[in-house]
Structure 1
Amino acid sequence: MRNTAKITTAVLAAGALTLGLTACGSDNDNAGADAPLTVAATPTPQGEILTYVKDNLATKAGLELEVREFTDYVTPDTAVQQGEVDANYFQHQPYLDDFNKENGTDIVAVPDATVHLEPLGVYSHGVKKLTDLKKGATIALPNDTTNEARALKLLETNGVIKLKSGVGYEATPKDIASNPKNLQFKELEAAQLPRSLGDVDAAVINGNYALEADLSPAEDALVAESPKDNPYGNFLAVKKGDEDDPRVRKLAELLTSPEVKKFIQDKYDGAVVAAF
């Protein structure tokens, strides 16, 4: 998979990229409390939230923060595991559990560092309501395991399909028990979903990619997830053993501060919801 990275500081460009890939994990054991903390993130909203912290809160708190942005859901975890970055901020627990299981990695959520929820939504250029979908219509879904299940559960919650009893975070279209409109499902990489709207009747799109495509879960989605009791909050994550790195703990405090909550509320107007 080809990934696009954007490095936000000259220091990172000159130094951190020379680390290379190793199997021995991060260098946090040798990093001092005053060393820069490098965090991988997807651009919207995670990269924007981190940049707000970097520009407005980090220096005062004595934290030198560097941000690397990636446009996919794989590289931020492999970069943490291999020691290219110290932490990442882009994922929810079901996705991380599946990633660790599939890849033999040992990445963990930082305690008390769940920052926000991006409501998953159903979008369409052709219909205004889900009930307007015609028989045989095609719906695009994210193709990673947990987000596909999440998309199917959103469709089930809104009466479009019914899943087999007991299906959990690994549901696929094969687990659909009832499909009255004989809907067809097209599985795509999550980042490609907004661009698919011209080719399908509807698409279930992750909140960050919807925002990048100027789609608002609050205004443009036919239906969107409720934040109530939602397990898909995004958090700060590190390689196991680095949870107590003082720089990580400091960033966790900043990411769950009143200032960040206000930033999320003001900037995203319900398209991103603070989870603390």
Structure 2
Amino acid sequence: MKKKITIGLAAILLATGLLTGCSKSSPSASTPNGTPASHVLKVGAAVVPHSEILNFIKPKLKEQGIDLNVVVLDDEGQLNPALAERQIDANYFQHVPYLESVSKEKGYSFAVASKVHVEPIGFYSQKHKSTSLPDKATIAIPNNPSNEYRALVLLQKNGLIKLREGIANYQATPRDITENPKQLKFVEVDAAQLTRTLPDVDGAVINTNYVLEAKLDPNSALFREEADSPYANVVVVRKGDETREDIKQLDAALRSPEVKKFLQEKYQGAVVPAF
């Protein structure tokens, strides 16, 4: 008798598992335009401004039958593994040079689905009010390859250093500096920790999303990238998923006139539309 009950229970659990598995891939009832009536789309995002932008478009996508689930992780570095492991459908937190760098390292097969905004990286200081830094000043820069290169290029454009010629892969370190007239010292710091490091150094080159998270004024930067920066933040999906209808709808919503106005009014130049 116990054996029969066990077999019966196993069969029920197996059937339930199969039905659950089917429900993940099979759309529910459709609206008149053919869009699933209750289709969940999971997008991993950085807290600021990415999740704020996604939450802004949630009502619009809801009208189209898409229930946008914004997933924010404590460690943004886990958003690409989460995408690769199919825990989320897309992520929105990175720019193309960073994506290319990490994909080469980890072997990800990803594609860019949408180019949304630029967060001009800037040079901030709590000790100095101008770019006339003292000799041997200490500057903190991001320690991941693409953003480190980006920071060094910004310093070069503002006349503080000169990098060797021929760098074409968006990767550079202080070892690639050929001219450093002020003998500046560089500290490589995790990008998310740069705002905390700011009081201890003469200045730091910080990504705008971390500036906004720390409640600092982005306009307090002594200098920033121009709006034509190649570091647009993008929506990333697994290769092949960029043709999915729900991803296309996400792209259209993110690149709408309403979002452009939202970015301009809410962030006042700290986040710039890339479309």
TM-score tier by shorter-chain length is 0.7 to 0.9
SS in 2 for 1:136: coil
SS in 2 for 1:102: helix
Write the distance in 2 (CA, Å) between the matches of 1:186 and 1:118: 22
Q: Deviations over 1:86-109 (max 9, x none)?
A: 000111111100010000111110
- Structure 1 residue runs of 5 or longer lacking an equivalent are 1-26
**Residues 238-253 of structure 1: matches in 2 within 5 Å?**
238-253=237-252
- Alignment of 1:255 onto 2:259: no
Provide the residue aligned with 2:223 in structure 1. 223
Provide the residue aligned with 2:47 in structure 1. 43
Provide the residue aligned with 2:17 in structure 1. none
Q: What is the CA-CA distance between 1:30 and the residue it aligns to?
A: 2.7
The aligned amino acid for 1:272 is V
Write the distance in 2 (CA, Å) between the matches of 1:227 and 1:175: 26
- Alignment of 1:74 onto 2:69: no
Provide the residue aligned with 1:235 in structure 2. 234
SS in 2 for 1:79: helix
- Structure 2 residue runs of 5 or longer lacking an equivalent are 1-21, 28-34
SS in 2 for 1:59: helix
Provide the residue aligned with 1:156 in structure 2. 156
Write the distance in 2 (CA, Å) between the matches of 1:271 and 1:223: 12
- Alignment of 1:175 onto 2:170: no
Write the distance in 2 (CA, Å) between the matches of 1:224 and 1:71: 27
Provide the residue aligned with 2:10 in structure 1. none
- Asked if structure 2 preserves the Cα contact closer than 8 Å seen for 1:122 and 1:205, the reply is yes
**Residues 1-276 of structure 1: matches in 2 within 5 Å?**
30=25, 32=27, 34=36, 35-54=39-58, 56-110=59-113, 113-131=114-132, 133-168=133-168, 169-217=170-218, 219-228=219-228, 230-276=229-275
- Asked if structure 2 preserves the Cα contact closer than 8 Å seen for 1:94 and 1:146, the reply is yes
SS in 2 for 1:141: strand
Q: Rg bigger for which structure? A: 2
Structure number with higher helix proportion: 2
Write the distance in 1 (CA, Å) between the matches of 2:210 and 2:63: 32
Q: Deviations over 1:8-66 (max 9, x none)?
A: xxxxxxxxxxxxxxxxxxx9x93536320000000000010001111x31212221100
SS in 1 for 2:97: helix
Write the distance in 1 (CA, Å) between the matches of 2:109 and 2:77: 14
Write the distance in 1 (CA, Å) between the matches of 2:266 and 2:182: 38
Structure 2 CA distance for partners of 1:31 and 1:84, relative to 1, 3 Å:
farther
Write the distance in 1 (CA, Å) between the matches of 2:214 and 2:77: 20
Write the distance in 1 (CA, Å) between the matches of 2:73 and 2:131: 32
- Asked if structure 2 preserves the Cα contact closer than 8 Å seen for 1:80 and 1:86, the reply is yes
Q: What is the CA-CA distance between 1:179 and the residue it aligns to?
A: 0.5
Q: What is the CA-CA distance between 1:246 and the residue it aligns to?
A: 1.1
Aligned length: 244
SS in 2 for 1:265: helix
Q: Deviations over 1:188-217 (max 9, x none)?
A: 111100010111110000010011112233
- Asked if structure 2 preserves the Cα contact closer than 8 Å seen for 1:194 and 1:205, the reply is yes
Structure 2 CA distance for partners of 1:31 and 1:127, relative to 1, 3 Å:
farther
Q: What is the CA-CA distance between 1:231 and the residue it aligns to?
A: 1.2
Task: Report % sequence identity.
Answer: 47
The alignment yields a C-alpha RMSD, in angstroms, of 1.6
- Asked if structure 2 preserves the Cα contact closer than 8 Å seen for 1:136 and 1:184, the reply is yes
SS in 1 for 2:266: helix
Write the distance in 1 (CA, Å) between the matches of 2:73 and 2:128: 32
